[in-house]
Structure 1
Amino acid sequence: MNNRPPEPVYPGLLSRIWARIWDALRPFDPYRSVKAALGALVIVSVTITTLLVFVAIRTSTELRIVTIFSIIATMLITQFVAHGLTSPLDEMKTVARAMANGDYSRRVQAVRRDELGDLAETFNHMAADLEAVDRHRKELVANVSHELRTPIAGLRAVLENVVDGVSEADPETMRTALRQTERLGRLVETLLDLSRLDNGVVPLRSRRFEVWPYLSGVLKEANMAAAARAHIGGPGARADVHLHLDVSPPELTAHADAERLHQVVANLIDNAVKHSPPHGRVTLRARRGTGGPDSLNLEVLDEGPGIPESERHRIFERFNRGGVSTPHGPGSDGGTGLGLAIARWAVDLHGGSIGVAESPRGCRIRVTLPGTPKAHG
């Protein structure tokens, strides 16, 4: 004979049933606003007092007894309602104190449907934003410390060898020192761009220019920089990747800040080259946009592994080094993870958009610039 107790009901079943009942009663919920809750409190208190007075009249009960019972009942109901109204505020106070001590992981249980529930949800969004900012700050310190330590250590070792007479100041030794110095320079330039990004207010010096010669100059600079890094053996040097420019029509013009647009194109080209296969091809394509006069559509296409759809919303975040697709080539590294974030910042300054477009092969980044604002009559 089996004397085991019956199996308990699955605990999640009751909670789901109650959640459905709660949702079904939502249109009749008197606590959809604080005003409704306070109004319900007044109505219930008056109703109880009236009923007690009516009972007293019918039963010849003394008025002071009725008054005492009315006060007790009203106080109990008021305490119950007040506890329900103030509990989110108490919880927010506790979470705020935890955040003041550096703990950004705690959240408020936003179960109410009134204004306090909305406030709790807003509070949770603020806590999530602060947690992200704190995480970015820690990542910034860690990444900058890592990026600075390597070239400084290499440069120090080279100089110490020259001073101690271990090696001579020959061209090869100087090229090694120059390589580390250039890496430091690139990092400092990136940090300056990040500082401008955080300050938020950067004036745009927009002008009208011809797209073909402008982009041709940007690609020529990229080729020269890649050849120089390959000559001195810098990290991530990729002189084997072919850069191709496709502008149609050839007389295409645009209206933008040339310096900021240079940041966008240079960062996108650099990222595409890093992720291209050996002897790959990177194409920079420019077309007329559908916005105002001199609007511009830019696309940078590579032949690399591409970006999974689940990762596309993260590639423009700071310090995202693209953990899914590893850069190709000897000595390649993920950089500081700020290049695409800076590109998005520069595009946002123009009021444009940047994102990952569908591509049958590799990765395609699309940039849309609005051009000259339309005049309103």
Structure 2
Amino acid sequence: MSLPQREPSGLTGPIPITGAAAEARRAATRRTFPDVRPLDPIGSLKWKLGVLVAATTVVAVLLVRYGLQAQIPTRYTLPAAVLVSLLVTQLLARGMTSPLRDMRVAAQAMATGDYSRRVRATSHDEVGALATAFNRMAEDLEAVDRERRELVANVSHELRTPVSALHAVLENLVDGVSEPDEETLGTALAQTERLGRLVEQLLDLSRLDAGAVSLQRDTIRLEPFLASAVRAMSMSGREVRFVVDVIPPDLQVSVDSARLHQVVANLLDNASRHSPAGGTVTVRADTTGEVVRISVIDEGPGIATEDRERVFQRFTRGSSATRSDGGTGLGLAIARWAVQMHGGTIRVASTPRGGGCQIDVHLPATPPALG
């Protein structure tokens, strides 16, 4: 009676071990060969290799000599010396190459989107320097991935809100629920403008990353310029009062007017969003020597001292900000970029008397010489 023949599986050779089995195998290997690193204090890989060769040679010579003194046949002492030398080599070399193995595992994890792995960098040689650089790279990649996720989340939220509002307004108009009166059309226009600001911020973000923006400077008077920016912001419908104070009234500055308008608009938008209903937002400009200062002051909750530098980073919003405040966390980052292009600085000043927040922009009164 013959046994039934099995169909060939089509697989040849050893089956690769992956997933939990591979991790268990690596754990068993670590238990068999502990990750000791006795050569870490040596600051050069070449010296480590020299110590490794010297140690194995000395061990082999001592074992052979002991065998000769004990009159043990060479056929026993020589294999024993080779075996012990290999064990010493394994012990010392494993500590030297552990960071390389860790980097391989971490790189495989990064390929799947896990940037949290770090390499144990304890040596002071070239491999240790490589491990340190690898950890910095992993931190940078993790930060970039986090920014990407925040960008998707912020943009998705900011797009959904005005799109939903526009959809509702247009649907009511089509169904005849509401009439195309001034209030209804104004609501649709406000949401369209909000979409436009978001798209403009995203375009500015791409220009910032590409570094493909040049300045078109001209000399402007600040009083009418700031008054125009305030009038545009006052149409947002927020219940705040804007005040412009320029000293002297004929103060001028040489800037790219489009970029400066972008800075002022972002600061006014930020200040008006965080000011209470009925509050006042003050735009003040003055000069000190060769520096023109533009300050935007609100009556909101202010910015904590520890957050005054962080708010100029991308996707960062004040501790009092919420998802419903209409902010993307890009406005102040773009403002700082535009100010720095002019050779100026922007910072959160000390809390004004009575509370609130004051952000100062310092610009050179005359453009820096090229070359």
Normalising by the residue count of structure 2, what TM-score does the alignment of the two structures yield? Answer: 0.76
Which residue pairs with 1:282 in the alignment?
282
Which residue pairs with 1:202 in the alignment?
212
1:167-186 equivalent positions in 2, closer than 5 A: 167-186=178-197
CA distance in 2, matches of 1:193, 1:375: 24
- Any idea what SS the aligned residue of 1:280 has? strand
In the alignment, structure 1 residue 321 sits paired with structure 2 residue 317: yes
Which residue pairs with 1:153 in the alignment?
164
- C-alpha deviation, 1:303, in angstroms: 3.4
The change in CA–CA distance for 1:349 and 1:89 in structure 2 (over 3 A counts) is farther
CA distance in 2, matches of 1:251, 1:90: 64
- Any idea what SS the aligned residue of 2:224 has? helix
CA distance in 1, matches of 2:168, 2:63: 92
CA distance in 1, matches of 2:106, 2:330: 32
Which residue pairs with 1:259 in the alignment?
258
The change in CA–CA distance for 1:359 and 1:175 in structure 2 (over 3 A counts) is closer
- C-alpha deviation, 1:143, in angstroms: 1.9
Deviations 1:245-284 (A, max 9, x none): 3446955544x43322322222123212322343324233
CA distance in 2, matches of 1:127, 1:368: 36
Whichever residue aligns with residue 258 of structure 1, its letter is S
Which of 327, 333, 336 is the aligned partner of 1:341?
333
- Any idea what SS the aligned residue of 1:112 has? coil
Counterpart contact for 1:267–1:339, Cα < 8 Å: yes
Which residue pairs with 1:123 in the alignment?
134
- Any idea what SS the aligned residue of 1:229 has? coil
Which of 305, 309, 312 is the aligned partner of 2:308?
312
Counterpart contact for 1:218–1:265, Cα < 8 Å: no
Whichever residue aligns with residue 280 of structure 1, its letter is T
Deviations 1:76-98 (A, max 9, x none): 22211221121111111111111
Further displaced range: 157-166 or 107-116: 107-116
- C-alpha deviation, 1:179, in angstroms: 2.2
1:29-40 equivalent positions in 2, closer than 5 A: 30-40=41-51
Counterpart contact for 2:227–2:244, Cα < 8 Å: no
Counterpart contact for 2:207–2:213, Cα < 8 Å: no
CA distance in 1, matches of 2:133, 2:248: 47
The change in CA–CA distance for 1:373 and 1:33 in structure 2 (over 3 A counts) is farther
Deviations 1:140-179 (A, max 9, x none): 2222222222222222222222222222222232222222
Which residue pairs with 1:220 in the alignment?
227
1:6-155 equivalent positions in 2, closer than 5 A: 30-52=41-63, 55=66, 67-155=78-166
- C-alpha deviation, 1:129, in angstroms: 1.9
- Any idea what SS the aligned residue of 1:205 has? coil
Whichever residue aligns with residue 305 of structure 1, its letter is P
Whichever residue aligns with residue 192 of structure 1, its letter is L
- C-alpha deviation, 1:204, in angstroms: 1.8
CA distance in 2, matches of 1:275, 1:225: 18
Deviations 1:104-161 (A, max 9, x none): 2222233333332332232222222222222222222222222222222222222222
- Any idea what SS the aligned residue of 2:314 has? coil
- Tell me how many residue pairs correspond in the alignment: 330
- Any idea what SS the aligned residue of 2:361 has? strand
Counterpart contact for 2:280–2:299, Cα < 8 Å: yes
- C-alpha deviation, 1:342, in angstroms: 0.9
Give the gaps of 5 or more residues in structure 2.
Answer: 1-37
- C-alpha deviation, 1:325, in angstroms: 5.8
- Any idea what SS the aligned residue of 2:312 has? coil
CA distance in 2, matches of 1:52, 1:326: 73
Deviations 1:12-61 (A, max 9, x none): xxxxxxxxxxxxxx9x9643332332222133234334545665676666
Counterpart contact for 1:350–1:369, Cα < 8 Å: yes
